[in-house]
Amino acid sequence: MVGFLRAFAAASAVPAVAAAAYALSSSSAPSTSKLRFPLPASFLSAAASTSSTSGRAPNAVPPMAAAAAAATADLSAPDKTEFMVDMKCEGCVTAVKNKLQTLEGIRNIEVDLPNQVVRVLGDLPVKTMLDALHQTGRDARLIGQGNPNDFLVSAAVAEFKGPVVFGVVRLAQVNMDLARVEATFSGLSPGKHGWSINEFGDLTRGAESTGKVYNPPGYVSDKALGDLGTLEAGENGEAQFSGSKEKLRVVDLIGRSIALYATDDRSDPGIAAAVIARSAGVGENYKKLCTCDGVTIWESS
């Protein structure tokens, strides 16, 4: 009986040792770190048998390696982008989906009709998607892009509430080195107007008390980081902007201001300013924000 038990134990140990040897030889570690020792032919045949009975081919990728590859693939996952779109019925939803589906690079589209929000998963530039939405005949504005869990603050907003200039500026963090800037204004005099992110949110004297153009320590360029260039207002006094700004971090802008000027070189004291406040970003709560003419610009908090 004792002899039988010893024989049974020895036979059971063969597949286990062989499996361990196979796992070591299949490791993704460098070859210099592999454990090497001579294996009897019976062990090698047992290893092949164990691999076969486990349902994995001898050259198959081990589960741990497959998981690591999947994790690496996630690093290049497409961005989620959210838009506020003027939709009123299921027909609007169908039109929006059909248009976006014609764009190469779109992975998935979700539409939240009650909140008038369109969520797109894909690798396309924001402008390409916005242009497609506008081609459906509907007003559309960017809410945010990226993964809000990656940033302390993913979006911010500045509201210009008159009495002359009205508008909204939206800032959305795309990644740690890039932010989207979207703006809509009304009540401007026709022509070019300078605008910028300024140091302070002090509006006691309007734009004049907001300080210099924001420029963080260590940023070296011929223009300050907060210099947003110029806006051109049409004969109707309206101006829009959609673009991106490298090295701009939304979290550093909260409590500062955006100022508008009468001239394109900002040589005047300024005609309007608004404080930058934290806003709802991708996947966060939505609250309607409207200009004086009642047109929904986007959802914000």
CATH number of the domain to which 254 belongs:
2.60.40.200
Helix (H, G, I), strand (E, B) or coil at 12: helix
Which of residues 25, 40, 72 is at a domain's end?
72
Domain count for the chain, please give it. Answer: 3
Evaluate whether residue 233 is within a structural domain.
Answer: yes
Are 188 and 245 contained in the same domain? yes
Please give the model's pTM, rounded to 2 decimal places. 0.56
The answer to which of 114-128, 137-151, 236-250 has the lowest mean pLDDT is 137-151
Evaluate whether residue 143 is within a structural domain.
Answer: no
| 228-232-237-243 Cα dihedral, nearest 10 degrees | -50
Q: Is the pLDDT of residue 214 over 90?
A: yes
Evaluate whether residue 144 is within a structural domain.
Answer: no
Residue 7's pLDDT is what? 46
Residue 281's pLDDT is what? 52
Q: Is the pLDDT of residue 271 over 90?
A: yes
Are 159 and 236 contained in the same domain? yes
Are 94 and 172 contained in the same domain? no
Q: In this predicted model, which residue has the larger pLDDT, 254 or 33? A: 254
Which of residues 88, 107, 138 is at a domain's end?
138
Are 31 and 86 contained in the same domain? no
CB 185 within 8 A of CB 239: yes
Are 127 and 158 contained in the same domain? no
Which of residues 21, 40, 72 is at a domain's end?
72
- HEC string of 125-163? CHHHHHHHHHCCCCCEEEEEECCHHHCCCCEEEEEEECC
Q: Is the pLDDT of residue 6 over 50?
A: no
Residue 43's pLDDT is what? 36
Are 172 and 231 contained in the same domain? yes
CB 182 within 8 A of CB 170: yes
The answer to which of 56-60, 129-133, 134-138 has the lowest mean pLDDT is 56-60
Q: In this predicted model, which residue has the larger pLDDT, 27 or 245? A: 245
Are 63 and 83 contained in the same domain? no
Are 161 and 292 contained in the same domain? yes
Are 157 and 286 contained in the same domain? yes
Evaluate whether residue 147 is within a structural domain.
Answer: no
Are 256 and 178 contained in the same domain? yes
Are 107 and 63 contained in the same domain? no
Evaluate whether residue 124 is within a structural domain.
Answer: yes
Evaluate whether residue 146 is within a structural domain.
Answer: no
Evaluate whether residue 89 is within a structural domain.
Answer: yes
Q: Hey, CA dihedral for 278, 280, 285, 287, is it positive or negative?
A: positive
Q: Hey, CA dihedral for 40, 41, 43, 47, is it positive or negative?
A: positive
Are 90 and 223 contained in the same domain? no
Evaluate whether residue 173 is within a structural domain.
Answer: yes
pLDDT in tens, 149-198: 565 567 889 999 999 999 999 898 888 888 989 899 999 999 999 999 99
Q: Which domain holds residue 92?
A: 77-138
The CB density around residue 237, as the number of other CB atoms within 10 Å, is: 15
